[in-house]
Amino acid sequence: MDLLQRISIDPAVRFGKPCVRGTRLTVGDVLGVLAAGRAEAELLLDFPQLTHEDVLACLAFAAEREKRLITSAAAV
């Protein structure tokens, strides 16, 4: 299964923010917890509905979104 298929965007769920499919946890929620320095194992204990593959899907989604960013020469 393609990791990105684990992420859904539904305007009726969390205002259309990308979420882990079948949950109300946003990609931003997952990445924020990891960025705060918490280990993936802790995240998975706190949210038993998540899997390792879901965490990888959040990272893959963020990586794909970053590739699409347009940067301005003036911003650099």
Dig out the tokens for 17 from the structure: 């923010």
Res. 67 pLDDT band, cuts 50 70 90: confident
- What predicted TM-score, i.e. pTM, was given to this entire model? 0.86
Dihedral angle sign, alpha carbons of residues 12, 17, 18, 24: negative
Tell me the domains of the chain and their CATH numbers: 3-75 (1.10.10.10)
Residues 36-42, mean pLDDT to the nearest whole number: 97
Q: For residue 74, is pLDDT > 70?
A: no
Q: For residue 72, is pLDDT > 90?
A: no
Question: Cβ(57)–Cβ(31) under 8 Å?
Answer: no
Q: What is the pLDDT of residues 11-38, one digit of tens each?
A: 999 999 999 999 999 999 999 999 999 9
